[in-house]
């Protein structure tokens, strides 16, 4: 007989590979008792004290909410992608920067000299009409040549006085057409000129508070119209010589050669020369600081009558920049005075920015959707100018003369593009207000080299040396240099070879985020990473139990529907003959007990153990004897039930 322990073991339910709880209550009780998160067990152990259970439940939920609020603050700080600024000072030999100097005298090209002479003559006439101006030296007047005196009313846009109450000129303050102004003085006036669209149907005044600025901008507008008609070959065929501007050049006490500079013409600042531009792949190197290890230039600053109305400054324009960087003299240059020795001490700084999510910068400009019109590396200023020029070409049909041209475009002129001035000045106002989007489309470079400058000035030449220096220079150049005001000296050098590198680095990376989140988790729950895994396991169990409960309810609902259908009454057809036969039997045996189902009771045996034969023969005689025995037992049971019960099964 099997013992009770074996029966209990056989009756125990075997555990499967995945076991889930039957209810949410069991799940939460198991989690609260076995988890490593502090405070949860208190909610279960104190379940017989409702006050303690409520207290620990509220405390747990509150700390849980505070912790995730802190998590939200940390994630917000992380996704703001803050950066830290790191600075390092290095000391080494340095590549000397490129230096560009300009004459401040716009060049009068031979191909358009007649047109420029006519414009100068008309400008003198305007000054005489508006300000009663006459040249101090009548021999220097641009109108001395009678061929320059002509009626230019239909050729040039006039410069006008514009008063607030001048209804004839329609004073449009700040370019508006409603005639309103914040100035109520009827005698207040400004100076400007009118520009119209290509049909002359819409016009506005370009207004300036100073007559000097108005005349210079008006002259610049007329100058662009003239130079836009000049063939491009004019600029290469008619270039001045460097000896007309640079008297002497030395670097590190060694005279400069023809391969140490390149020349180009700036439309406003005249002839420009760039020293150490790096085109020969042999840039100058500074091994020591000081003036003697830098660049020294003696420049001619004599003012002639090239284009006196376009440039009003005496001296020279200078810009210090990195090699292969575009030159923007009007933005990054500075002027030096005649008769003065100017010493510029420089110190190099390298700025490295993080791109991507940490900042808006570009490595080389290849990812910027703006064509670089300058033959140089990417800079933000070059991108902005290229963007503006592309917009001018797109909307006005031509390009502005002061900027490089895109492929297939031509410069704007009144003869070919009537009304371009109206289009340009409208676009320039939108460009200055950043309405064209060029400043947003052009980010800063990720790595840029800058030069911090400090300037020193001294009188040069001195009173005692002025005579002999002038004599020597006059012998070395075709120009007379008898006065200090026609020459200047420029020194550019590293005042120290140490350079500063400023870089950006992520101040809140993934490691910092996880560390701070772990600190918050430990502060509020005193747990570890494994506790987080337990939370994940709880979520999975909640989903599984939810699915189990849902499927159980669906099965119960389906079973209830099936039971209802089985218990409903059904009608069965009964043959009349069969019904009569049943009635007769009931009448014949009224006291007979009706048997619902013919089920024979099982035989009663004292034991179900049978004697198993030791072996069976090859002809299966044991099987036949077992069959005979079974037949005999069946016959015996049928004849005498009591005897069969007492004797039991026959052993084989």
pLDDT in tens, 493-521: 999 988 999 999 999 989 999 899 888 88
User: Of 162, 161, 146, 152, whose CA–CA distance to 123 is shortest?
Assistant: 152
**Homologous superfamily of 19-82+508-535:** YojJ-like (1.10.287.770)
Distance of CA 243 to the CA centre of its chain: 48
Bigger pLDDT: 604 or 57? 57
State pLDDT tens for residues 435-459.
999 999 999 999 999 999 999 999 8
Bigger pLDDT: 141 or 115? 115
Range in 21-35, 216-230, 631-645 the model is least confident about: 631-645
Q: State whether residue 349 is helix, strand or coil.
A: strand
User: How does residue 139 score in pLDDT terms, banded at 50, 70 and 90?
Assistant: low
Q: What is each CA distance from 356 to 80, 81, 361, 369, 446, in whole angstroms?
A: 12, 10, 8, 16, 10
Q: Rounded CA gap, 284 and 278, in Å?
A: 8
DSSP string, 254-294: EE--GGGEEEEEETTTEEEEEES-STTS---EE-S-SGGGS
DSSP string, 122-139: HHHHHHHHHH----SSGG
- Which whole number is the average pLDDT over 43-56? 74
Architecture in CATH for domain 89-109+231-504: Sandwich (2.60)
* Radius of gyration, CA atoms only, the chain: 52
- Which whole number is the average pLDDT over 127-139? 76
Question: Which string of b and e fits 83-116 if b means at least 16 CB within 10 Å?
Answer: eeeeeeeeeeebebbbbbbbbbbbbbbeebeebb
Q: State whether residue 252 is helix, strand or coil.
A: coil
Locate the domains of the chain by residue range.
19-82+508-535, 89-109+231-504
- Which whole number is the average pLDDT over 165-191? 46
State pLDDT tens for residues 401-448.
999 999 889 999 988 888 899 999 999 999 999 899 999 999 999 999
Res 425: pLDDT = 92
Q: Rounded CA gap, 55 and 43, in Å?
A: 8
Using the predicted structure, report yes or no on whether residue 549 has a pLDDT greater than 70: yes
Bridging pattern class, strands 295-300 and 246-251: antiparallel
Tallying the residues shown for the chain, one arrives at 652
Highest mean pLDDT among 5-9, 20-24, 118-122, 479-483: 118-122
Strand order in the sheet with 261-266: 261-266, 270-275, 98-102, 316-321, 334-336
pTM: 0.69
The answer to whether 314 and 303 have CB atoms below 8 angstroms apart is yes
Query: CB atoms < 10 A from the CB of 141, how many?
Result: 16
């Amino acid at each position: 007989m099997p013992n009770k322990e074996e029966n209990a073991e056989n009756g125990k339910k075997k555990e499967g590979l995945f076991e889930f709880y039957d209810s949410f209550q069991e799940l939460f009780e198991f989690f609260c008792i076995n988890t490593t998160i502090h405070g949860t067990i208190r909610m279960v152990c104190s379940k017989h004290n409702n006050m303690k259970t409520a207290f620990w439940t509220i405390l747990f939920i509150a700390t849980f909410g505070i912790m995730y609020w802190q998590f939200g603050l940390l994630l917000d700080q992380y996704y703001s992608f803050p950066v830290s600024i790191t600075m390092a000072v290095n000391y080494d030999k340095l590549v000397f920067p490129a230096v560009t100097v300009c004459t401040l005298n716009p060049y009068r090209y031979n191909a358009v000299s007649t047109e420029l002479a006519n414009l100068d003559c008309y400008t003198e006439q305007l000054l005489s009409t508006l300000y009663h101006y006459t040249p101090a030296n009548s021999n220097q007047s641009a109108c001395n040549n009678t061929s320059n005196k002509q009626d230019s009313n239909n050729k040039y846009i006039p410069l006008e006085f514009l008063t607030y109450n001048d209804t004839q000129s329609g004073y449009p303050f700040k370019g508006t057409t409603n005639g309103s102004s914040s100035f109520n003085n009827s005698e207040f006036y400004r100076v400007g000129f009118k520009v119209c669209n290509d049909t002359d149907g819409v016009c506005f005044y370009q207004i300036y508070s100073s007559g000097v600025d108005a005349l210079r901008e008006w002259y610049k507008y007329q100058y662009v119209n003239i130079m836009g008609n000049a063939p491009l070959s004019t600029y290469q065929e008619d270039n001045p010589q460097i000896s007309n501007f640079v008297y002497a050049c030395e670097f590190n006490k060694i005279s400069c050669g023809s391969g140490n500079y390149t020349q180009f013409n700036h439309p406003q600042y005249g002839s420009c020369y760039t020293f150490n531009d790096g085109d020969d792949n042999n840039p100058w190197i500074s091994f020591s600081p000081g003036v003697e290890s830098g660049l020294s230039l003696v420049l001619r600053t004599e003012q002639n009558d090239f284009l006196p109305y376009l440039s009003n400054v005496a001296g020279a324009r200078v810009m210090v920049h990195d090699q292969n960087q575009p030159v923007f003299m009007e933005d990054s240059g500075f002027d030096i005075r005649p008769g003065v020795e100017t010493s510029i001490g420089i110190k190099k700084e390298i700025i490295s920015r993080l791109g991507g999510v940490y900042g808006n910068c570009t490595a080389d400009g290849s990812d910027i959707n703006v064509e670089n019109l300058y033959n140089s590396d990417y800079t933000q200023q070059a991108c902005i100018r290229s963007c503006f020029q592309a917009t001018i070409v797109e909307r006005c049909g031509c390009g502005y003369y002061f900027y490089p041209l895109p492929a297939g475009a031509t410069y704007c002129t009144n003869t070919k593009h009537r009304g371009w001035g109206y289009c340009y000045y409208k676009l320039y106002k939108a460009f200055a207000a950043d309405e064209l989007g060029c400043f947003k489309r052009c980010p800063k470079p990720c790595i840029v080299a800058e030069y911090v400058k400090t300037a020193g000035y001294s009188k040069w030449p001195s009173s005692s040396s002025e005579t002999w220096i002038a004599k020597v220079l006059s012998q070395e150049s075709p120009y007379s240099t008898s006065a200090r005001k026609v020459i200047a000296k420029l020194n550019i050098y590293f005042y120290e070879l140490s350079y500063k590198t400023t870089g950006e680095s992520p101040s809140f990376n993934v490691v910092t985020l996880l560390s701070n989140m772990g600190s918050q988790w430990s502060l509020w729950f005193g747990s570890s990473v494994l506790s987080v895994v337990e939370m994940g396991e709880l979520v999975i169990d909640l989903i599984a139990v939810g699915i189990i409960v849902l499927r159980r309810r669906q099965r119960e609902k389906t079973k209830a529907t099936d039971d209802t259908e089985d218990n409903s009454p059904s009608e069965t057809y009964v043959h009349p003959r069969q019904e009569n036969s049943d009635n007769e039997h009931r009448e014949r045996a009224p006291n007979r007990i009706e048997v619902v189902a013919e089920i024979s009771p099982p035989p009663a045996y004292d034991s179900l153990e049978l004697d198993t034969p030791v072996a069976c023969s090859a002809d299966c005689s044991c099987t036949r004897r077992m069959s005979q025995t079974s037949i005999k037992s069946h016959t015996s049971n049928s004849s005498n039930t009591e005897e069969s019960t007492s004797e039991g099964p026959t052993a084989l």
